Amino acid sequence: MKNVYKKWFLPFTIPALVLFSCVVVIPFIIGVVYSFSAWRGVYFAGGDNAFEAWVGFDNYIKAFQNESFRSAFIYTLKFTVLAVVAVNVVALGLALLVNSIAKAVGFFRATFFLPNLLGGLALGFIWLFIFENIFSTILFGPEGLLPISFLTNMTQDNTKNLFAMLLVVVWQMSGYMMIIYITGLNNIPSELYEAADIDGANAWQKFKNVTVPMLMPSFTIVFFLVLSNCFKLLDPNVALTNGEFNTRMLALQILRAPKDSSNNYGLAQAEAVIFFVLIAIVSLTQVMITKRKEVEM
């Protein structure tokens, strides 16, 4: 069997590697080169190619000096911290809930997972309707069922929109992360809980000393997915506010950078490279930390 795998390994992997290189690696390298040039999208200012229009680190300096970029970075960081905590708490809670019931488990799994199948701008516009019409008038408006001013016009305020996007992301992502946690819970040996019962451990002690340590591989995966996806979040940001009211996140900031800087696509590409490096550093650091805890267990 090993000889069969060795024989067919290259024929099956080479097409995938070629496609990945053409779609991801080569465009990424070209983008890095363009980030050091005066690229204007369809031409280069001051030359016929990137090297003749070379500007060095000017685009990167302008990116860090750009108030909109710094504001988007801080806003994205705030949102990501809240989302990582909220999604993990809700997803783990759902996993524990579904794992504890005996009947209709498949139905509940499918129901909680269903929001993950919706995505893109359609999901954002659905929630925009909910926030502007259901929340702001019927439920929480001045004449609503439960008047709560904070829950009205959530897409028209910097702070409120942070929690509006958080609600959308938690609703969409928790079901997917729940499946990962359920898999981890099912892989925990029942003997560990039986030993904890013999030692007289209560529910909280079993959760803290058995469930959490044994779920560290699942935590590693979920933290990585939530961190990377929240840093890259674009569609809900576009649908809910389109960056108005100082609510731009990094992905939307990069998308709007050429328009804000007179078609300076080199500046936008520099922001994209910074964005990539930021996500890579944060994600890899998180994986290293959680992986180290797995080894300790």
Tens of pLDDT, residue by residue over 95-144, are 999 888 867 778 888 888 888 887 778 888 999 999 988 888 888 888 87
Question: pLDDT higher for 9 or 236?
Answer: 236
Cα distances (Å, whole numbers) of residue 149 to 79, 139, 144, 212: 21, 11, 10, 38
Check residue 294 and give its pLDDT.
Answer: 64
Mean pLDDT of 152-158: 89
* pTM above threshold 0.95: no
Phi and psi at residue 162, to the nearest 5°? -60, -45
297 pLDDT tier (thresholds 50, 70, 90) = very low
What is the tens place of the pLDDT at every residue in 248-264? Answer: 999 999 989 888 888 88
| Location of structure tokens 């939307």 | 252
**Residue among 211, 223, 216 at smallest CA distance from 185:** 211
pLDDT number for residue 164: 93
Residue 170 has pLDDT above 90, yes or no: yes
Task: Please say if the pLDDT value at position 4 is more than 80.
Answer: no
- Is residue 168 scored above 70 in pLDDT? yes
Look at residue 84 in the predicted model and tell me its pLDDT. Answer: 92
The pLDDT mean for the chain works out to 88
pLDDT above 90 for 92: yes
The rounded distance, in Å, linking the Cα atoms of 224 and 236 is: 20
Q: Please give the helix or strand (H or E) that residue 283 lies within, else none.
A: helix 265-296
Average pLDDT on 19-25 reads: 91
The residue-averaged pLDDT of 66-74 equals 91
The fold of 66-296 is: MetI-like fold (1.10.3720)
Residue 285 has pLDDT above 80, yes or no: yes
Token digits for 208? Answer: 């803290």
pLDDT at 39 over 70: yes
pLDDT at 295 over 90: no
* pLDDT-based confidence at residue 1 (cuts at 50, 70, 90): low
pLDDT value, residue 90: 95
Residue 55 in this model has a pLDDT that exceeds 60: yes
Share of residues in the chain with pLDDT > 70 (%):
97
Q: What per-residue confidence (pLDDT) applies to 3? A: 74
Count CB-CB contacts under 10 A for residue 237. 26
Q: By the 8 A CB rule, do 192 and 214 touch?
A: yes
CA pair distance 162, 246, nearest whole angstrom: 11
**What's the confidence (pLDDT) of residue 93?**
93
Q: Is residue 174's pLDDT more than 70?
A: yes
Q: Which of 71, 72, 45, 73 is nearest to 59 (CA)?
A: 45
Tokens found for residue 89: 């708490």
What distance in Å separates the CA atoms of residue 117 and residue 127, rounded to the nearest whole number? 15
Whether pLDDT at 296 is above 60:
no
Q: How far apart are CA 148 and CA 166, in angstroms?
A: 18
